[in-house]
Amino acid sequence: MLREIGNKLKQAAEEALIDACWRQWIVLGASGTEIHKRQATSIVDVEQLILFSSLLRRKEQRLELFLNWFAVVGAPLVSLQRIQGLTDRFAAEEKSQIALFAQMALSAGDRRWKTIAKSDAEIPGSPKLKGPSIPNLLHPGALMLRFRAGFGLGAKADLMTILVGQCGHPRTVKHLVEAAAYRETSVREALRDLTLAAFVVKSNNRPAEYIARSPWHTDTTSVRETSGSFYSEGNAELSRSSWKTLWPVLSFLHDCMTLFDTTDSEELSEYIFYSKFRDVLETYRDDLVLLGIVLPHTVPTNSDFSDVWTKIMHQSVDAVTDWLAENL
Amino acid sequence: MLNSINLSSKDIRRLLQAVRERLHLSGFEIALIIVGGANLNVMNIVARTTKDVDVIAQTEGEGDELTIRSPLPFPEPLTQAIETVARDFNISSDWMNAEVAAQWNVGMPDTILDDLTWRKYSALKVGFAGRQTIISLKLFAAADRSPASVHAQDLVALRPTDDELLHAADWVKTQDASEHFSSLVDDVIRYVKRDRE
């Protein structure tokens, strides 16, 4: 029974994650439109994409081909510091999955990846590239790579991406630190410079909020008055770029997948199965709710424990996969 | 789900089993001695619900090598397991506590290691205190509160013999040397003798 429930939920989480990766790779120019016509509409967080694609490559081989393609054509646009920061949140075995991309990038000539590459990583033999010779930087969803290509890798380019992707909504430092996955000091320093250069406007309220503004806008209006100005001066293409903080969504689904995988290989008791799911749910609950995902309540009930939790697990996974399908 | 105010014998066994499973996940093992209502319940001595599980001691070793010590502070993996189980069953996180371990400050019954009934829940080994220890602690608690308290009722339900009460009284009176306390102990004993039949 547990195995059956676990397999069903694992499949749902896995399919949603693979679909999310596919849709983002297509935005960057990877070949695959014949299978997946829907492209992501939000800005691609390339480090997250590489990380989750690396974790899923054994489940979906074409992700490995996309990784290999991007390692050849786009590795210089990938932040090593950021990818290491993100992988630190994973267990050692999962961290090691990134070594393949690093090895591919190193083989393609980007020496920065030497520190995390593993020479024994199995690079697919004679890989057939699955995309053009340069990533599609002009797609609204490729804004992060576009800024990096123009201004170089670093917190400033990424913060501009995230702020432009807020579609006129001001954000606090706390929000930006979480979204950018940089250290708070790096974010503050970058925001100071971006504010000085008038790419960003800082509010006077506490906590301070920041908003992207048009670089062609020269007066010193407030955050609220500036709201939307980035989009009002003919930047129609940029106005289609929206930033979604996908980390908790993707991580929740990945952790569910890992948990449900164990029901296939280990003898988990019914209690531990539900309790570990609860661990996963509570880890991400606040972040998922902040994104507007409606999760089931875990209120006391007189019904049978397993019936209640089976329902909660299904409802939770469904809520997150539905949100991802609609918002990516 | 469980009601944290009224834990039945079945509830307690289920909760202890859940703690065992969480401890097993973290690779941590521990042996504890439990007294109070949970003890009476699980050992089928008194069929009443209880609001918590009282841990009085942590043990190490086995057989002649068995030693006890205060369970406080609870080791971190145990605290985490108790809190997780409380979360999962929607009960108060103090459902398993060591308030009774304050007894270590004044002295434990000398029978604490006698007649322990062990239940092994894999990573969690639980020793349910023996009859004489329970009677001693219940007599102390009843004298400390009132002859009409739940502790006195438990004592009546235990139907202690005169010898058991005498042995218990000898120890309880060492806990408080005042004449007033000694007379309270005697009051409880009279109450129990009257109602135990």
pLDDT at A229 over 50: no
Percent of chain B having pLDDT more than 90? 38
B21 to chain A: closest CA residue: A272
Which residues of B are less than 8 Å from A298 in CB distance? 90
Which residues sit opposite A285 in a β-bridge? none
Nearest to B18 among A271, A279, A300 (CB): A271
Range of lowest pLDDT (A116-120, A199-203, B15-19): A116-120
Chain A interface, Cβ < 8 Å to B: 269, 271-272, 274-276, 278-279, 282, 298-302, 305
- Environment class of B176 (CB within 10 Å of its CB; exposed 0-12, middle 13-18, buried 19+): middle
Closest to A71 (Cα-Cα) out of A23, A144, A127, A22: A127
C-alpha span between A217 and A227 (Å, rounded): 12
Which residues of B are less than 8 Å from A301 in CB distance? 1
Per DSSP (E only), the strands in chain A are 171-172, 200-202, 209-212
Alpha-carbon radius of gyration of chain A: 21
Cβ contact B38:B51 at 8 Å: no
Q: Mutate which of B16, B88, B89, B93 to disrupt the A interface (most A C-beta within 10 Å)?
A: B88
Dihedral sign for Cα A164, A165, A170, A173, please.
negative
Say whether B21 and A274 touch across the interface (CB within 8 A).
Answer: no
Which residues of B are less than 8 Å from A269 in CB distance? 21
DSSP conformational letter for A77: G
Give the amino acid at B176.
D
What pLDDT score does A145 carry?
94
C-alpha span between B89 and A299 (Å, rounded): 10
* B67-69 vs A171-172, strand pairing mode: unpaired
Range of lowest pLDDT (A178-182, A194-198, A220-224, B168-172): A220-224
Tokens (6 digits) for B96 = 């398993």
Cβ contact B59:B32 at 8 Å: yes
Most confident of the ranges A97-111, A128-142, A201-215, A314-328: A314-328
Range of lowest pLDDT (A206-215, A225-234, B94-103): A225-234
What pLDDT score does A149 carry?
94
Confidence of residue B163 (pLDDT cuts 50, 70, 90): very high
User: pLDDT by residue (tens digit) across A102-118?
Assistant: 988 998 888 998 888 87
C-alpha span between A122 and A67 (Å, rounded): 13
Cβ contact B31:B23 at 8 Å: no
Question: Which residue has better confidence, A36 or B151?
Answer: B151
C-alpha span between B159 and B46 (Å, rounded): 11
Confidence of residue B84 (pLDDT cuts 50, 70, 90): very high
Q: Mutate which of B1, B3, B22, B93 to disrupt the A interface (most A C-beta within 10 Å)?
A: B1
Cβ contact B46:B126 at 8 Å: no
Residue with tokens 């790419």: A199
